[in-house]
Amino acid sequence: MSTLTEAPPPLTPAAPAKKPPRRRGRWTPYWLLLPGLLWLVVFFALPMIYQASTSVQTGSLEQGYKVTWHFATYWNALGDYWPQALRSVLYAAAATVLCLLLGYPLAYLIAFRAGRWRNLIMILVIAPFFTSFLIRTLAWKTILADGGPVVGALNTLHVLDVTDWLGWTAGDRVLATPLAVVCGLTYNFLPFMILPLYTSLERIDGRLHEAAGDLYAKPSTTFRKVTFPLSMPGVVSGTLLTFIPASGDYVNAELLGSTDTRMIGNVIQTQFLRVLDYPTAAALSFILMAAILLMVTFYIRRSGTEDLV
């Protein structure tokens, strides 16, 4: 019953088909992408161009604005507001470092030590999101209130003397000082550090720790040589997700700080919504964007976009 024709040796390549086979759904990806990308182009990319153009316009609200390629706006803005810009970088960097130091143990705890409590702790990390962050930031006003238990304790321990000397706090106040702003920033963006850290820690095979221990590594060495390097993707995206929003934030500086702790975000907000000096606001916003993009590009070189997206 088996009647089979064997393949003849293919001495010459078979004649090419007359028509290339019709590719099914060649356009499907583009149709899928179109609406979402269009949205991003119109409401994200296009505004950036408008903003770039606004930053080099001159004029006034009454007479309207014209593009005059007035780049001096940039120099003036930088000249006037460099302290706020510098402060933004410093506060955001401090908050990022604090987030990493505070967030790593918790992410590690959830990933390796929490056992059956893992889900509960995860919920507790995420659930505060549902209480508006403004309400939670206002709560810090109560926690750090003058003469409250936290300030009292710091005073008794003479911590405030040190921070006062460093310029982080003023007298026996914590509210309305850089320390309060950094504390608020750290608090607000901590989950954005913990979640990516947890994701990359969770992927690490627990047996690697045993293997390292088996190969004569002390727990601290295991951490330095095995765990930490393997969690680098989480560290990179966590620091980005913390530093970027922190550098542009103005809520913490407004609610917990004073006029001496204003950040670049406060300036942009004031110029745009109160002073109505659109060119200056646009120029500052553009400077912030450029600085962030430079930093992100540097980071992406080391980690690759696909990791972060």
Query: Between residue 198 and residue 257, which ones bind other proteins under the rule CB under 8 A?
Result: 240-241, 244-245, 247-251, 255
Distance in Å, CB of 205 to other proteins, minimum? 18
Using CB under 8 A as the binding criterion, the count of chain residues that bind other proteins stands at: 102
> Which of 160, 264 has the CB closer to other proteins?
264
Tokens of residue 12, six digits: 């010459």
Q: Which DSSP symbol is given to 18? A: S
Q: Is 30 in the site for other proteins (CB under 8 A)?
A: yes
Q: Is 29 in the site for other proteins (CB under 8 A)?
A: yes
**Residue window 121-160: x/- pattern of binding to other proteins, with contact defined by CB under 8 A:** x-xxx-xxxxxxxxxxxxxxxxx-x---------------
**Options 69-77, 115-123, 158-166, 209-217: segment touching other proteins (CB under 8 A):** 115-123
Residue from 102, 159, 170, 230 touching other proteins (CB under 8 A): that is: 102
Residue from 5, 60, 63, 259 touching other proteins (CB under 8 A): that is: 5
Q: Is 168 in the site for other proteins (CB under 8 A)?
A: no
96-100 long-range contacts, Cβ below 8 Å, gap at least 24?
A: 96/189, 96/193, 96/239, 96/242, 96/243, 96/246, 98/182, 98/186, 99/186, 99/189, 99/190, 99/192, 99/193, 99/238, 99/239, 99/242, 100/193, 100/235, 100/238, 100/239, 100/242
Query: Do 177 and 257 contact (CB within 8 A), yes or no?
Result: yes
Query: Do 169 and 160 contact (CB within 8 A), yes or no?
Result: yes
> Which of 15, 79 has the CB closer to other proteins?
15
